[in-house]
Amino acid sequence: MTELRDIKGIGPVTEKKLRAIGISKPRDLLTYYPSRYKENRLDNEQPWVLQETLMLLCEVTADPRLFFIRKNLTKMTVKTIIDGKPVDVHIFNRHFLKKMLRPKTKIVVTGSFKDNFRHFTSSDLILHKNFKAGMKPIYSVADLSEMSFHKWILRVLEDDAILPQERLPEALLVKRDLPLLQDTYHKIHAPRNKRDVAVAQKRIKYEEMLMFALRLHAQRIQTEKTEVPRKGYDIEKVRRFIATLPFELTDDQKQATNDIFRDLKKDRPMNRLLQGDVGSGKTVCAMLAAYATVTAGEQIAFMAPTEILARQHHDTFNEFLMPLGVAVRFLSASTPSEERKHITADLQSGKVDIVIGTHALLSEDVGFLHMGFAIIDEQHRFGVAQREQLREKGCHPDVLYLSATPIPRTLAIGLLGNIHVSSIMQLPKGRKPVRSFLVGYDAMDDVFSVMEKELSKNRQVFFVVPLIEESDAMNHMSIDAFEHVLKKHLPEGKSYAILHGRMPDDEKADVMARFKDNTTAVLLSTSVIEVGMDVSNATMMVIINADRFGLSQLHQMRGRVGRSGFPSKAYFVADDPEKARERLHVLIETSDGFKISEADLRMRGPGEVFGLSQAGIPRFMMASLLDDAALFKQAQSDAADVFSADERKAQVLKKQAMEHVDGFHLD
């Protein structure tokens, strides 16, 4: 049995369909796991609860009666007896069974008791002689028959020549109490009970995690071979700089900064993720490390996903570091070509210390004399290749990722490889939590009167809408449409500005600058303001069609306010606030970004939250970096053991992992 066609029941047409779902050899059927199971178990002994689904064995006591209710709808009532009690069973559209249901026939019905136990409505009915107790695997196989699909798998399971040989060292199977591979396939496709399924799933997940951990381990060995000069930074200068900051670092910021500096001192390249909620003050930690790098005579590349964000980082760095004689430059696609030439020349000659920019930093004309430190903001917005490209502009630079969508450690490893994680959990002192409200459009009048109050105190307000222009396809608010409404409610003497992704970059920068210095009071924008924008005088955020955005995204947008000691408010406006509450209640209940991103990840999955194509999350058939953290930990520790074991299977696994690592990107 080497080809699919060798399996009884599979012809050319079926073969084609199987190929379409990724099955090209009999063996592939084994790793096409059931998407769920249906448990066949008689509930006769269980207490009967009204409306609850039950599977009951009963005996027909009289010929069924058939009713034609209307076209295509028949009802059959069957008098039965269940454990001595007479029960009327109703079943729809199964008139063709009538002849089989003779008195004394034993049948199994699935359904529930209705109408105060007066009758049992059955959705499924089979003859008792065809009933098989146990777990029935359910496969999602589109246009193939599920029953045949299962039969083919059972045929493959019977053929010892096809079943793959055990790959994992016996010591590991014993240590982790895992079934053998062949046994696993039997248990997953033909389980006798729930336990079989659980045992098999554990082994499959474990193996997936172990393979991943082995590759990570191989990669780590590779990196640890890479020696880099320790950064000879001037700690006294850094200390003096810290003393001049207008605030004291929070304990978490201090901890994170220490982590980073310890990495800088090592003779191995840093690979660290600094995660912290919006406004937690990650930038200053990055800036301290950047300054230290400058004192060590090396250059820094700082890449951010949007022009606005990059420009803002540039302005912050410039404000703090220019007085210290550090040359900071900004580079984006909108930088005029003359200026760009100057900047790239000065980077090449080492005259510029720090360059902050967008994807433009990846262009070929951008090169460094000696770039020793790369900072990547909102890393998940960049693909694996782009992160690699920036890294390659230096010589094994230290790399620091910043992220405002905090993620569990296992997931960070999935996204970024052997990464160390520092987390800023606390916000700077004096921040007041943003009061959040989920409202319907009928509350807009109130929203506008709150706006008026804020504006009268000379504070500023954000409005976010999903679309730029009206769209037939989507029934969402657009900038065009909302502008009319806003104009009507804007108090005299107050101005507004519009910001969206399709505006020219210099215009965007201009709008931002005027909002920052409070020349404009209200900013009406799309979600381009999502990341980073820092305007501490803004105290009110209104998000229209809030139900259209992801939780993390909404949290990010809310993070644009509450950046000062003034109390701030956020309004999430939805078509149907009660329906939206199911998903958005987390936002109202907490402002803890860790909790929110966790909830978002659970609801939408990492692929959606981070953008699957960009993120480079390893794809497992069954394991999940989110749910199987404990198993991953075991796999990681076992991977280290495999690498040091002499046993034959361990050697094979190790060799495979080492061979993979060269071309190994985490995607």
The side-by-side arrangement of strands in the sheet containing 398-403 is 328-331, 354-357, 299-303, 371-377, 398-403, 271-276, 420-424
Task: Report d(CA 201, CA 622) in Å as an integer.
Answer: 8
Shortest gap between Cβ of 553 and ligand ADP (angstroms)?
Answer: 14
**Span interacting with ligand ADP, options 61-69, 281-289, 384-392, 582-590, rule CB under 6 A:** 281-289
Q: Are 350 and 369 in contact (CB under 8 A)?
A: yes
Q: DSSP string covering 130-184, please?
A: G---EEEEE---TTS-HHHHHHHHHHHHH-TTTSPPP-S-HHHHHHHT---HHHH
Q: Are 374 and 390 in contact (CB under 8 A)?
A: yes
Shortest gap between Cβ of 534 and ligand ADP (angstroms)?
Answer: 5
Shortest gap between Cβ of 216 and ligand ADP (angstroms)?
Answer: 28
Closest CB to Mg ion among residues 408, 532: 532
**Span interacting with Mg ion, options 15-23, 46-54, 189-197, 529-537, rule CB under 5 A:** 529-537
Q: Are 625 and 411 in contact (CB under 8 A)?
A: yes
Closest CB to ligand ADP among residues 280, 539: 280
Q: Which does 253 bind (CB under 5 to 8 A by kind): ligand ADP, Mg ion, none?
A: ligand ADP
Pairing state of beta strands 65-70 and 73-82?
antiparallel
- Determine which residue in the list 64, 394, 414, 532 makes contact with Mg ion, applying CB under 5 A: 532
- Determine which residue in the list 404, 479, 622, 642 makes contact with ligand ADP, applying CB under 6 A: 404
Shortest gap between Cβ of 561 and ligand ADP (angstroms)?
Answer: 12
Closest CB to ligand ADP among residues 280, 636: 280
Q: Which does 534 bind (CB under 5 to 8 A by kind): Mg ion, ligand ADP, none?
A: ligand ADP
* Positions 216 through 275 that interact with ligand ADP (CB under 6 A): 247-250, 253
Closest CB to ligand ADP among residues 108, 288: 288
Closest CB to Mg ion among residues 414, 532: 532
Closest CB to ligand ADP among residues 89, 278: 278
Q: Are 78 and 91 in contact (CB under 8 A)?
A: yes
Closest CB to ligand ADP among residues 117, 247: 247
Residue 279 in contact with ligand ADP, rule: CB under 6 A: yes
Question: Scanning the structure block, which residue is given the tokens 């909404």?
Answer: 554
Number of residues engaging Mg ion in binding (CB under 5 A): 1
Angle, helices 194-225 vs 648-661, to 10°: value is 60
Closest CB to ligand ADP among residues 248, 627: 248
Task: Report d(CA 189, CA 146) in Å as an integer.
Answer: 12
Residue 483 in contact with ligand ADP, rule: CB under 6 A: no
Task: Report d(CA 457, CA 40) in Å as an integer.
Answer: 67
Distance spanning both ends of the chain, measured CA to CA: 33
Task: Report d(CA 286, CA 289) in Å as an integer.
Answer: 5
Angle of CA points 475, 476, 479, to nearest 5°: 135
The full length of the chain comes to: 667
Shortest gap between Cβ of 332 and ligand ADP (angstroms)?
Answer: 19
Task: Report d(CA 58, CA 643) in Å as an integer.
Answer: 59
Task: Report d(CA 33, CA 580) in Å as an integer.
Answer: 34
Pairing state of beta strands 299-303 and 371-377?
parallel
* Positions 296 through 355 that interact with Mg ion (CB under 5 A): none
The closest of 423, 132, 143, 130 to 275, measured between CA atoms, is 423
**Span interacting with ligand ADP, options 153-161, 282-290, 407-415, 439-447, rule CB under 6 A:** 282-290
Question: Scanning the structure block, which residue is given the tokens 């880099």?
Answer: 228
Residue 255: other Cβ atoms inside 10 A: 16
* Positions 408 through 467 that interact with ligand ADP (CB under 6 A): 428
Shortest gap between Cβ of 532 and Mg ion (angstroms)?
Answer: 5
Q: Which does 281 bind (CB under 5 to 8 A by kind): Mg ion, ligand ADP, none?
A: ligand ADP
**Span interacting with Mg ion, options 383-391, 456-464, 486-494, 524-532, rule CB under 5 A:** 524-532
Closest CB to ligand ADP among residues 283, 520: 283
**Span interacting with Mg ion, options 107-115, 503-511, 531-539, 589-597, rule CB under 5 A:** 531-539
Shortest gap between Cβ of 312 and ligand ADP (angstroms)?
Answer: 8
Closest CB to ligand ADP among residues 597, 636: 597
Number of residues engaging ligand ADP in binding (CB under 6 A): 17
Shortest gap between Cβ of 246 and ligand ADP (angstroms)?
Answer: 8
Closest CB to ligand ADP among residues 300, 635: 300
Q: Which does 249 bind (CB under 5 to 8 A by kind): Mg ion, ligand ADP, none?
A: ligand ADP
Closest CB to ligand ADP among residues 280, 436: 280
Closest CB to Mg ion among residues 110, 537: 537
Shortest gap between Cβ of 530 and Mg ion (angstroms)?
Answer: 11
The residue of the chain with the least Cβ separation from Mg ion equals 532
Closest CB to ligand ADP among residues 223, 316: 316
Strands (E), 504-601: 522-525, 538-544, 569-573
**Span interacting with Mg ion, options 59-67, 291-299, 532-540, 568-576, rule CB under 5 A:** 532-540
H-run or E-run covering 295: helix 282-295
Fill in the amino acid letter for 533: M
Task: Report d(CA 373, CA 390) in Å as an integer.
Answer: 10
Q: Which does 269 bind (CB under 5 to 8 A by kind): ligand ADP, Mg ion, none?
A: none
Closest CB to Mg ion among residues 305, 532: 532
Shortest gap between Cβ of 278 and ligand ADP (angstroms)?
Answer: 4
Q: Which does 483 bind (CB under 5 to 8 A by kind): ligand ADP, Mg ion, none?
A: none
Shortest gap between Cβ of 571 and Mg ion (angstroms)?
Answer: 23
Q: Which does 379 bind (CB under 5 to 8 A by kind): ligand ADP, Mg ion, none?
A: none
Tokens of 323: 């007085």
Q: Are 608 and 377 in contact (CB under 8 A)?
A: no
Pairing state of beta strands 538-544 and 569-573?
parallel
How far lies 338's CA from each of 214, 351, 358, 507, 509, in Å?
49, 17, 18, 19, 19
Task: Report d(CA 414, CA 14) in Å as an integer.
Answer: 36
The residue of the chain with the least Cβ separation from ligand ADP equals 281
Task: Report d(CA 330, CA 361) in Å as an integer.
Answer: 10
Residue 67 in contact with ligand ADP, rule: CB under 6 A: no
- Phi/psi at 69 (5° precision): -80, -50
Q: DSSP string covering 22-72, please?
A: T--SHHHHHTS--SEEEEE---TTSPP-TTS-EEEEEEE-S--EEEEEETT
Sequence-distant (≥ 6) Cβ neighbours of residue 210 within 8 angstroms: 168, 172, 635, 638, 639, 642
Shortest gap between Cβ of 199 and ligand ADP (angstroms)?
Answer: 44
The closest of 298, 252, 292, 257 to 276, measured between CA atoms, is 252
Q: Which residues of this protein are in contact with Mg ion, per CB under 5 A? A: 532
Q: Which residues of this protein are in contact with ligand ADP, per CB under 6 A? A: 247-250, 253, 276, 278-284, 404, 428, 534, 563
